[in-house]
Structure 1
Amino acid sequence: MYNHKTLTKVRVWDLPTRLFHWGLAIGITGLAISGTVGANAMAWHFRFGYTVLALLLFRIVWGLVGGRWSRFGAFIYAPQSLIDYIKGKGRPEHSVGHSPVGALSVFAMLAFLVLQVGSGLVSDDEIAFAGPLTAFVSNATVGLATNYHANIGKWILLGLVVLHIAAIVFYLLRKHNLVQAMVHGDKELVRPAPSSRDDLASRTAALLVFMLCAGLSYWVSTLETITF
């Protein structure tokens, strides 16, 4: 039997994952504000968009090679695990990284962010701004992407963000501070659990991965200067 008064501190979120999380929060906020203001702020909307693209590319790679609890394999759950968790029958490991419900939220957020950024790359407001990939797709695709990006996708993401904040508040009321763990990376657990690797070597590798992703994002941004 474990003594519930004895807690074990475990490094759950490595530094690269934490920086990604807060960088993404800033990027999404910047996109929302600049997209709403429009006009001259659209230049910043594109900059934030390319930044979020780099972050998403990084997270996809880091989800394969990152810290133990940042890897996608650590929070891919079977449907029955999700049902059991909702019924209050979750397993101890569900309290370490992302729970089944949290994992569903993460995958939904990443998927719709990819759709939003991807649609933005092939959108055209027919006034002053067009995504760098519009020349590579048909006019029909540009029209569909523009409509989704401006009128559908942003509201889906807003809903997901609201749900995310509501979940944070819900757990905070239950004395479970999710934000704190994403700041310093550690969780105090009743049961011991493996720690995520978070040392100089892994952080250096993450920096190199992000630099490559940022370079790819920048290259995509330059495609708008290509004429056909």
Structure 2
Amino acid sequence: MSTKIRVWDAPLRLFHWLLVIAVFAAIFTGLQGGSWMDRHATIGLAVIGLLSFRLAWLVLGSTYARIPALFRAFIALPQYLKGDWRTLGHNPLGVMSMVALLLMLGWQAVSGLFTNDEIAFSGPLSRLLSKSDSLYITGLHRLGLWVLVGLISLHVLAVLYHEFVLKHSIVKPMLTGDTQKTDAQQKPAVGGGWIAFIVALMIAAGGVYLATGAWQPPPPAPPVSAPAW
């Protein structure tokens, strides 16, 4: 007989669903272009805050959100492929999918800070680069969109496969935090309390502050030409 067991803490679940909303909003506004770019940039800063939070939560979060759990899952890939997987949390393929997605999201969010469209939009850190370098990053940022869409598509297909073919729900635990305990050795997640949450939020806020470029000195004023008398 199986019983419920806590696997995902509330901050991790909140991060996950906020990131889903932010990523789809970023893709939509980026494809619209034009006057939508200011919103796209704001959403990009939100993504940076969320990713900064997740980096902190790798250390501060509860059991299955931390680096050791992810590492143990990754090195257990041979056992997983043999069907011998009984551990809670991300499975080995899930870890690889998550890492690929977060790295690609990180690239897109950070590279977006240095982009410009040569018309009306420029990222908050674009003036740290030469114009040619900024345009080069902009091109890579645009190409990265389709890599990201491909990774998201694979992720969604994997979720659907688990839900409807393997009959193993991975969506419901990310909503409720609980899954079914199938092994006596499985232990509920612990850690990731309020103090850890507040510290992670502070780290996220610091990431957003750095990304806004507010720490940069103001650009020099354009030279004033002397009137021709």
Shared fold per TM-score greater than 0.5 = yes
When normalised by structure 1's length, the TM-score is 0.87
Q: How many residues align?
A: 217
Residue 109 of structure 2 is matched in structure 1 by 117
The residue correspondences of 1:202-213 to structure 2 (distance < 5 A) are: 202-213=193-204
When normalised by structure 2's length, the TM-score is 0.87
Is 2:208 aligned against 1:217? yes
Contact map agreement 2:22 2:47 (CA 8 A) in 1: yes
Residue 226 of structure 2 is matched in structure 1 by none
Query: 184, 187, 195: which is aligned to 2:188?
Result: 195
SS at match of 1:36: helix
Query: 34, 51, 59: which is aligned to 2:54?
Result: 59
Residue 69 of structure 1 is matched in structure 2 by 64
Contact map agreement 1:16 1:206 (CA 8 A) in 2: yes
Q: How far apart, in 1, do the equivalents of 2:9 and 2:73 lie? A: 25
In structure 1, list runs of 5 or more residues that go unmatched.
1-5
Percent of pairs identical after alignment? 34
Question: 1:161 corresponds to which letter in structure 2?
Answer: I
How far apart are 1:116 and its partner, in Å? Answer: 0.7
Structure with greater helix share of residues: 1
> Considering only CA atoms, is the larger Rg found in Structure 1 or Structure 2?
2
The residue correspondences of 1:2-151 to structure 2 (distance < 5 A) are: 6-77=1-72, 81-86=76-81, 88-93=82-87, 96-150=88-142
In structure 2, list runs of 5 or more residues that go unmatched.
221-229
**Over the residues paired in the alignment, what is the CA RMSD in angstroms?**
2.0
Q: How far apart, in 2, do the equivalents of 1:80 and 1:103 lie? A: 10
> Once superposed, which parts of structure 1, at least 4 consecutive aligned residues long, lie more than 6 Å away?
none
Taking a change above 3 Å as real, the CA distance of residues 203 and 78 of structure 1, as seen in their structure-2 partners, is closer
Q: Deviations over 1:172-191 (max 9, x none)?
A: 11221111000010010211
Q: How far apart, in 2, do the equivalents of 1:137 and 1:159 lie? A: 29
Q: Deviations over 1:34-86 (max 9, x none)?
A: 00111111111011100000000000010112110001220125876324423
Q: Deviations over 1:87-123 (max 9, x none)?
A: x333311xx1000000000110111111111110111
Residue 223 of structure 2 is matched in structure 1 by none
Residue 3 of structure 1 is matched in structure 2 by none
